[in-house]
Amino acid sequence: MTALQLVLSALGAALLGCALSIAVPGRYGRTLGFLSLLAAGALGCAAAVAGLRAPVPEVAGYPAIHVLLRIDPISAFFVGIIAATALLAGIYGLGSRGADERRTGRTAASAACAIALASLLVCVADDVLLFLFAWELIALGFYWTIVYAGTHEEAERSGYVTLVVTHVAGACLIAALLILAHRGGGYSLESALAGAATLSAPARGVIFVLLLIGFGAKFGMLPMQVWLPYGYSAAPASVAALMAGGALNAGFYGLARFVIGLPGGVPIWWAIVALALGALGAFFGIAWATAQRDVRRLAAYSSVENGGIILAAFGVALAGRAIHLDLLVGLGLAAAFMQIAAHALAKTTLFLGCSTIADRCGTLSFESLGGLAKSMPVTTAATLVAALSLAALPPMAGFAGEWLILESLMQAFRTGSVALELSFALCGATIGVAAGIAVVAFVKLVGIGLLGSARSPQARAATETPSAWKRLALVLGALAVLSAGIFARSLLTLAAPAIDGLSHANAVAGIAGTAPLLQPAFPGFSSASPPALALTIGGFALLFWLLARAIPRPRARSAEVWTSGESYRPWTQYTGTGFANPSRVILDAGMRTTREIAVEGPPHGERSTRYSSAIRPFFDLRFYRRVASGFLRVADIVRKTQSGAIAAYLSYILVFTILLLLLFPSIRKW
């Protein structure tokens, strides 16, 4: 089968799964839905490999009714990423119904299939109207998942916030793409992109801003990130894994296709804006993540960080286009694509681990977890691998991605522009700080959430999931994260047609041409070897284990843990709030922490002290309420004019006619 036939089969499987999970009653509908999602994921992965290896793009459809599909190396890469996450989510979903899935779980299965269908369709749509249809279908799939598939108590508000943000972004995309289609004289993506070359510089700048807002909202670009913690927390974790690891990448596909691929000149300020927003998103996203009390909200804010890091890599590519240095474009794209793959696999695995922990413990609060490493070894190991990758530690996939991004930012001296050199330096320093904070955030996740002693009876009684399907998905996810890191060269080589095709340079040969090294495209700069790092780390771990076994130790004695003269209790260990407190203090200006200390009890009896703290992220719901209040005031005025008396309408017409007669001589000259 050709790549396009495989994509059509994947779309058909997702559509069939959506229909079956709705039509078939009981748990069988859920099983058929996730089985179809698995099949769609497997077919999509096969289509991606075939599309990346195909000598020419494949196009098919009916342009007259705006149904036109196209698979080329760019779309094939993103189809593969989304399909891989769908495959993992499908395998996991074949296990028992999650505790956060409503009723029989059929709604969760149908929503997952709908999200996979829409995300794949976005990547292969070759018609502007079909692309916008698929884009809006993703938004509706998110709303469907959040409001109807889960059991979260704030599902309605979370769904409303998600729908508002995604529809504002959709409005920006509709405006930008229809303008391009009009100027290009056709609705195919090729015609729309060609239309950009006919626009003036200010008009191209407006199109860039609209596209950046529209696509950036999907992956949590500041200030559009407000929906991520609400949406990801309210959706069932098994579907949130597909949202965070798969559908989120539709935004990155849009940047690659419509921003990097936009013909014509690119001004330097485009790159500076992308670098600045990327750096701020990376820093604030991970800073907010460290302060979270819930594992899933930490993972959601981590997506804001990774979205910022990837956006910064696209900024490097835009800088390369602005100064006509194609090799820098290729390096930025290679770094972005590597980090996209790393984040997708790690975040999917992390959310699946969250689902298992929530099922077995009944909570994801750091204050109630702990002690799961011994009772849930498979879940702990998979979550640990995902956390190591998201913290960018070797030899995981996240290390290769962030290393390439930092190396690309070190090429500032090649730009010959003071503005770009300063932007590269500030962005690199900010991302470096964010990488350090990420280590703190994920040490909190592993150390507080999985290690230590159980902080609640539920955590103390937790056991590994009995579902073989869920364990298989976790193991496969962890192996994929590790393999993508060790064999990063092979992954980039597979993606070379997409990277080199967009950059018009033989960039991947410079990055991965010397086995087993990764290099930042330009010869003689620096290099790293993920396989060598894996062997070194694994060798030292093995050596330590052998020494621990070989060296005789005195006979162990059991005694109570010393806790300042008192018996050890779970509350004497670090809590999530206590562990994150140094970060809160140091980053207080950005976190804007509020604290409350309340003394409870009778005035002359035994009293207790309750401490609570919270952060107020920039551009949160309070910020958007203030923005929305202005629009609502305007809407009130408009509403009054719409529901007035007939005399008022006649007065409007009279005033308009008088003004028209007065201005007619001037209007005629226009």
Dihedral sign (CA 205, 206, 211, 217):
positive
| pLDDT for 646 | 67
| Number of residues that this document lists for the chain | 670
Each residue's pLDDT tens digit, 605-616: 666 777 667 777
Count of CB atoms within 10 A of residue 53's CB? 12
What helix, strand, coil percent values describe the chain, rounded to 5?
75, 5, 20
| pLDDT for 498 | 95
SS3 for 284?
A: helix
**H or E element in which residue 597 lies:** strand 593-600
pTM of the model: 0.91
Residue 535 burial by Cβ neighbours in a 10 Å radius (0-12, 13-18, 19+): middle
Count of CB atoms within 10 A of residue 605's CB? 6
Instruction: Of 342, 45, 94, give the one whose Cα is nearest residue 238.
Output: 94
Q: What are phi and psi of 54, to 5 degrees?
A: -70, 140
- Ranges of residues in the chain with a pLDDT under 70 are 564-566, 589, 601, 603-607, 611-612, 627, 631, 638-648, 663-670
Each residue's pLDDT tens digit, 405-462: 999 999 999 999 999 999 999 999 999 999 999 999 999 999 999 998 888 889 998 9
Segments in 450-506 forming alpha helices (H): 457-460, 468-486, 488-494, 496-503
Whether the CB-CB separation of 37 and 17 falls below 8 Å is answered with yes
| pLDDT for 670 | 45
CA distance 91 to 93: 5
SS3 for 638?
A: helix
Cα diameter, the chain: 104
Q: Which residue has the tokens 């859920």?
A: 30
**Where do the structural domains in the chain lie, given as residue ranges?**
621-669
| pLDDT for 631 | 67
CA distance 498 to 337: 9
Count of CB atoms within 10 A of residue 178's CB? 15
Whether the CB-CB separation of 90 and 41 falls below 8 Å is answered with yes
CA distance 41 to 247: 13
